[in-house]
Structure 1
Amino acid sequence: MAWERSIRLPPAVQPQRDVPRLGPVASAAVVDIDMAPGAPQLGRMCNRYQPGERQRIQDHFNARLLREYNAGPPTVHPKEPGWVVRIKDGETVLEQMTWGFPMVLRGKQGQPLKPKPVNNARFDKLGAFWKRWASQPDHRCLIPTSRYAEAVGPAGKMTETWLSLKNEPLFAWAGLWRSSEEWGDCYTGVMTENAPELADIHDRSPVILLPDQWQAWLTTPLEDLYRFDTPFPADAMEVEATSDLWARPKMKGKAA
């Protein structure tokens, strides 16, 4: 693919925050994670994607399956299991984690509320809110993706629009992961600005990494990653607008 990413300089490093736990007036941190206090993570950012079939993922990334897992959902929503590729003990491995870092909000009386999944991380916040994980290569990962969806249209009538790479069955979405008390190992996808031609769909998109960029994302220092903070070319994307309403399907039971 004949194109180059422009280099964006890193933002000024801000004081590092601890594990996300917000009070009712923590507005600055709320802005960092694109989430209004107490609001569910639905609808406006990339909140569903399809990873593809496990064996194809394993072959594409040349990764060893860490252990046996259930198949997982064909379309992944926040707080559901999805596939993650990372380096463990010098080896590329494939495993399942929960999509979304648990964000613990607090009520008016200071009581902890049910955690919300923060499934997207802004690239321009990797040196601030997300620095605790982004600065450590061991806490970076690749999220195998065949396509992802955005909600398009007026409120209440939003429909699914799916985006994928032309002539590519899979791609790597740059991610971060950590262990949590609430959900065990979990991950979040890193977002950057969208190509101007696709801004009517959303102003941001996943950070899409080509195979020759995987190693850099998983191993190099944080300051070397800002070359990836740039829109992926619109002419390399396949856009499929649908009439399917943007509504999360109801779960009919627990996975075996």
Structure 2
Amino acid sequence: MCNLQSDKVPVSVMRQAFDSLDLSLSFPEGIPNLEPRSDIGITDSNAIIRAAPGGGAELVVRRWSWPDERGKPVYNFRSDGREFARGRCLIVADAFYEFTAPPKGAPRGARKTRWQFTMANEPWFCIAGIWRTHPEIGEAYTMLTTTPGPDIAPYHHRQVVVLGRRDWARWLDYTIPASDVLGPAPAGTLAVGRCAGEEPAAQPQLALQP
């Protein structure tokens, strides 16, 4: 599953986008100095947006993944059939990556191919996520997954839940059922391109059971 993403979106652009949705964006821990990064991996930190206690939304920087009972990182979490009555968040991204196995006949030890997925009609987007408080590391987030849409299916049997702007406020609104927001991306939502060179194999998928 997805274990690598990109976020080169300036905080000022995020704030303007949420203002346009009449969803004021606050910064309870101060406005972060986020450097543009094209390779955000598991255990790295990134901007997430969640419902603010007093209304609107708030942006904080948190770690991607928390350890499960075996110490393995929970970086993807199945959304199928779940409602998520707490802990919803949006993970800011302008791209995410998937990997495919080497073709048949490739030399032993050949690396997997890395594919970049972006939103076809928007410069950036959000991935649906949830955040939790872990007793050892504090607050951390994970990405929600679902069955793959047509853009992802040729590359992976699961996909992260990609949300365009019309769904951001809806995902943060706990009165709206998760099933009304989460689902595979319709055909044409995502653009895909092969990254130059080959990349190391992705880590195995882990999903925390509630």
1:135 to 72, 80, 85: 85
- Other-structure match for 1:238: 191
The amino acid that maps onto 2:51 is I
Shift of 1:125: 5.6
Summarize the alignment of residues 61-210 of structure 1 with structure 2, pairs less than 5 Å apart.
Answer: 61-62=18-19, 63-66=25-28, 67-71=30-34, 74=37, 75-89=39-53, 90-105=55-70, 115-124=71-80, 126=82, 134-136=84-86, 139-154=87-102, 156-210=110-164
Partners of 2:5 and 2:91 in 1: CA distance: 10
Summarize the alignment of residues 3-42 of structure 1 with structure 2, pairs less than 5 Å apart.
Answer: none
Confirm or deny: 8 A CA contact 2:150 2:185 kept in the other structure.
no
Deviations 1:119-156 (A, max 9, x none): 111111635xxxxxx222xx101111101000123274
Q: Structure 2 vs 1, CA of residues 217 and 235 (structure 1 numbering), >3 Å: closer, same or farther?
A: same
- Structure with a larger share of its residues in helix: 1
Shift of 1:185: 1.2
Q: TM-score, normalised by structure 2?
A: 0.79
Confirm or deny: 8 A CA contact 1:72 1:82 kept in the other structure.
no
Shift of 1:183: 1.8
Partners of 2:151 and 2:121 in 1: CA distance: 20
Q: Structure 2 vs 1, CA of residues 159 and 142 (structure 1 numbering), >3 Å: closer, same or farther?
A: same
1:218 to 172, 179, 195: 172
Shift of 1:209: 1.7
Shift of 1:47: 0.3
What percentage of aligned pairs have identical amino acids? 27
Partners of 2:190 and 2:151 in 1: CA distance: 11
Q: Structure 2 vs 1, CA of residues 197 and 71 (structure 1 numbering), >3 Å: closer, same or farther?
A: closer
Q: Structure 2 vs 1, CA of residues 124 and 220 (structure 1 numbering), >3 Å: closer, same or farther?
A: same
Structure ID, larger Rg: 1
Partners of 2:142 and 2:41 in 1: CA distance: 12
Shift of 1:215: 2.1
Partners of 1:61 and 1:125 in 2: CA distance: 28
Unaligned runs of 5+ in 2: 20-24, 103-108, 202-210
Which stretch has the larger CA shift, 56-65 or 208-217? 56-65
Q: TM-score, normalised by structure 1?
A: 0.66
The amino acid that maps onto 2:89 is C
Confirm or deny: 8 A CA contact 2:146 2:183 kept in the other structure.
yes
Shift of 1:197: 4.8
- Other-structure match for 1:42: none
